[in-house]
Amino acid sequence: MASLCYYSSFNVIILVATLLLTNPIDCFGESNQEQEAEKTPKLLFVIGDSLYDPGNNQYFNATEITRQSYSWPYGMNLNHKKATGRASDGFVIPDFIAFCLGITPLQPYLQPGADLAHGANFASAGSGCLDIHPGVMNLKMQLSNLKKVAKSLEQNLNEQKAKQVLKGSVYLIGLGANDYFEFNKNHPNASKSERIKYIHMVLGNLTMGLEEIYEMGGRKFAFQNVGPLGCLPMIKQMYPQLNWGCNNDLLIVARMHNRALSNVLKKLALKFTDFKYSIFDYYSALDERINNPSNHDFTEGKIACCGNGQFNGQDCGGDTAKDFYNLCKEPDDHVFFDGLHTSQRANSQLADLIWSGTPNITGPLNVKQLFELP
């Protein structure tokens, strides 16, 4: 039986209606009434960039980095056919994780009156572990907003109960790509030692953030590592001198980051014996779909559904690009929706791996197992 994380575009619409109108069975095989009977709820908190952003940046002044996803054709496969600020034709990865929990997708934290009953999504397109872009919520600001939620829990419950909620919750984190895009742009001829130094800065900031969450009470962390940055349609299109091939410098720094991230988490687990974590090997999962799309029910792995140029790598949607971009008929056939972001169908598959993937792709625990922990 397929995981609840995976749905076709049509089934996603049916699922949302079902979640709103019925009392579904969640991925643990328990009804919502049984969950509600638990004394301590387990929430989902999301920290990330555009791969996880459900529309937070709409509540900032639009910037060049993020404004395109506010317009058609972004959101074209959602039931209202309108852009929500998600950088996809439909739902993004945390939305599908929410489906697996038997809840509707978390609203943008910055949305006025956002429902925080099941957690909060702080992700912001263009963000990084470092303060690389103005006008977005980088890691520091996302952590600041998480602290506000923790403070609210203390006020509504009490300090002890709030700590228990934070301890039982899962923190889904996907950051790093934008840090390395920025570094590569500013230092195209960086040496290996310079790259290593920068990776230490990125992971140093992330580590400090994790220790802050731990101090608040967080114990269960789920990470998506950095993808094959040099093989994304936009990046390949930016370097025609490479004969439309992948940018090896970005691939190298992504792999270096991922190895270092794994080591950092192992050290944290030794330092804090109750620190539990999951790493989803996004690099390998996405690379596999790029190079072998037909093995995963796609027809196109390298050319985006929406955009312009050799790989449809740029200028999808947005007011300034109106009438100047290509748009495929079936986004579900493509791994990528635009030059940097995966399609809703790809997101559902990736979320399925995060939720219940085996240790060779998501380990040492998967997110389902993290939620099952006390």
Q: Known catalytic residues?
A: 50, 338, 341
Task: Tell me the CA distances in angstroms from 93 to 221, 310, 327, 345, one per residue in order.
Answer: 16, 27, 22, 10
173: which 2 tokens?
Answer: 């984190």
**What are the residue ranges of helices labelled H in the chain?**
9-21, 32-36, 93-100, 139-156, 159-168, 177-186, 192-216, 233-238, 248-271, 282-291, 344-356, 367-372
Quick one: angle between helices 282-291 and 248-271, nearest 10?
Answer: 150
Could you tell me how far CA 293 lies from the centroid of its own chain?
A: 21
| Contact in structure between 70 and 85 (CB atoms under 8 Å) | yes
Nearest Cα to Cα of residue 181 among 229, 237, 231: 229
Terminal alpha carbon distance of the chain: 26
Q: How far apart are CA 259 and CA 313, in angstroms?
A: 28
Nearest Cα to Cα of residue 247 among 180, 347, 314, 174: 180
Strand pairing report for 306-307 and 326-327: antiparallel
